[in-house]
Chains A and B, each alone.
Chain A
Amino acid sequence: MNPLLTGIFTLFNAGNTFKTAVGSRLYTRWAPQNTPFPYAVLDIVTGIGDWNFTQEFDDIDIQFNLYSQSTSETEIGTLYSTLRALYDDCALTVTGYTHLFMQYDQYWSLSNPDENIRQYTVQYNILLQS
């Protein structure tokens, strides 16, 4: 699903409040060691194929993990709201596919109290037509 990841990063790199809020630190799968906070990690949760009589679709769930080590909720909250502003119902360019939609699905709030790390896992559903 490299074309999809490329499309997501292309939008990210176009310049926006989310990129500014996260300090341009968006990674796939994991962040490099000692990456300063805040940062975000993008990953594919699952994808299934679907079809009708003439068309084939890829129904894909992705997640953004947002990490903050700030002692207040402000920073992680800003990451969340700017992420949503950028990607909710956005138009992606996905080479080889027709991008039908990218919809916000749900999020989970997690934390690591020992290290004062706040985490939001934000899930999106994407439908591509091939």
Chain B
Amino acid sequence: MEARWRNVNEVVVEITDPLDEVARRGAEDMAVEMRSRVKQRSGTLSREIDVEVSKFKGGGYLVIAQGSNNYIKYYASFLEFGTDKMDEKGVSYHPFMRPAIKKFRPIIQRKWQEALDE
């Protein structure tokens, strides 16, 4: 019985390690895409997009704009979602996270499948 459980654990490691690697690379690729989509003025927001290891039970990675680090200003959500202050002269709505997620979601799913198939 003990030997069987050892085998199961080995299989789990064999599966989870490649999937975790796909998730990590996917998160990093997504962060690069998000940085490239940020409207460049000072480049501050672009530098404040980070990849962090998730603390959720299921694991994985998080791509965060102006997240848990001690940033001085928070305006990522204003650009991403827009505010009532948007007008033709002011700061414009400029989503940078959701387009990257939409682009990379199928790519990551495909790479997960490839990792499982190997």
A joins B in a complex = yes
In the complex, the chain B residue whose C-beta lies closest to that of A35 is B84
**Of the candidates B83, B88, B93, B102, which one forms a contact with A61 in the assembled complex, judged by CB atoms under 8 Å apart?**
B102
Q: A108 CA to B82 CA in the complex, in Å?
A: 11
Asked if A46 is at the interface of the complex by the 8 Å CB criterion, the answer is: yes
Asked if A48 is at the interface of the complex by the 8 Å CB criterion, the answer is: yes
**Of the candidates A45, A112, A115, A119, which one forms a contact with B99 in the assembled complex, judged by CB atoms under 8 Å apart?**
A45
Size bracket, chain A contacts: 20 to 34
Which residues of chain B (79-118) have a CB below 8 Å from chain A?
81-84, 86-88, 92-93, 95, 98-99, 102-103
> Is there contact, CB below 8 Å, between B81 and A121?
yes
> Is there contact, CB below 8 Å, between A48 and B102?
yes
Q: A63 CA to B88 CA in the complex, in Å?
A: 18
> Is there contact, CB below 8 Å, between A65 and B82?
yes
Q: Given A29-B93, A46-B95, A110-B77, are A119 and B102 also a contact pair (CB < 8 Å)?
A: no
> Is there contact, CB below 8 Å, between A30 and B81?
no
Which B residues are within 8 Å of any A CB, using their own CB?
A: 77, 81-84, 86-88, 92-93, 95, 98-99, 102-103
Q: Which residues of B contact A121 (CB under 8 A)?
A: 81-82
**Of the candidates B93, B95, B102, B103, which one forms a contact with A30 in the assembled complex, judged by CB atoms under 8 Å apart?**
B93
Q: Which residues of A contact B95 (CB under 8 A)?
A: 45-46
Q: What are 18 A-B interface contacts by the 8 Å CB criterion?
A: A29-B86, A30-B86, A31-B87, A41-B82, A43-B82, A45-B95, A45-B98, A48-B102, A61-B98, A63-B82, A65-B82, A108-B81, A110-B83, A112-B84, A119-B81, A119-B83, A121-B81, A123-B98
Majority SS at the chain A contact face: strand
**Of the candidates B81, B92, B99, which one forms a contact with A65 in the assembled complex, judged by CB atoms under 8 Å apart?**
B81
Q: A78 CA to B9 CA in the complex, in Å?
A: 52
Asked if A124 is at the interface of the complex by the 8 Å CB criterion, the answer is: no
A111 to chain B, nearest CB (A): 10
> Is there contact, CB below 8 Å, between A46 and B98?
yes
Contact with B along A40-54 (1 / 0, CB 8 A): 010101101000000
Q: Given A41-B82, A48-B102, A65-B82, are A30 and B88 also a contact pair (CB < 8 Å)?
A: yes
Q: A94 CA to B37 CA in the complex, in Å?
A: 29
Q: A32 CA to B87 CA in the complex, in Å?
A: 7
Interface-centre pick from A29, A31, A32 (highest chain B CB count, 10 A): A29
Q: Which residues of A contact B87 (CB under 8 A)?
A: 30-33
